[in-house]
Amino acid sequence: MPQRTARLLLDPTSADDLDALHEIYGDARTWTHLPTGRHPDRERTAEVLERWLDDWRSEGFGAWTIREAAAPELVIGHGGCAVRGRAAGAHDHAARDGAYWNLGYRFRPEAQGRGLATELSRTAVEAARLRRPGLPIVAYLLEHNTASARVAEKVGLTLRHRAPDAGNPDASAIRLVYADRELTAAQLAATLA
């Protein structure tokens, strides 16, 4: 379901968004904190897009395609909350299985630094809490991404875990896990996988 904030139009992600989302996810400038996350080709974005579409099919909710209300013709970002960490097909007892709401976003470089991530995140957190309040809301990021850490704190998340980022090609990388409540061992393990 579409949402609107003071400055943003938030639409459920659709297959028609592939090219616009690849422009964002394929742009190295949007991955300065995790260069290995960049989508090297349109096929990679299509694979991930299928997961985002599945979020909307299975949960009736997921990350939005983001446009500015003042210029709705341009996709400026993608983000929101999506359920992660659940066992395949688990919905009723998902929290026991390690499920959580994952708060995340990615914006075109031209849209960064204007408070849009905070505006999006506040709306996403509120919507996720209304849909499934039993699931914690989690944001995980690398320690040197101080802007994302500030956004997590502004929307009420607290640092719950700090440790080396296992599997990261940068051996010095530290992963931070923010959440709106204490996490179970299964939920924390799911955020670190």
The token duo for 4 is 């609107």
- Identify the structural domains of the chain with CATH numbers, from first to last: 3-192 (3.40.630.30)
The continuous run of DSSP H or E covering 162 comes out as strand 158-164
**Measured between alpha carbons, how far is 111 from 120 in angstroms, rounded to an integer?**
12
pLDDT tens for each residue of 120-155: 999 999 999 999 999 999 999 999 999 999 999 999
**Measured between alpha carbons, how far is 45 from 23 in angstroms, rounded to an integer?**
9
List Cα–Cα distances, 175 to 34, 63, 116, 145, in angstroms: 11, 22, 23, 10
Which amino acid appears at position 167 of this protein? G
pLDDT tens for each residue of 152-173: 999 999 999 999 999 899 999 9
Q: What is the pTM of this model?
A: 0.92
pLDDT tens for each residue of 45-101: 999 999 999 999 999 999 999 999 999 999 999 999 999 997 655 555 444 578 999
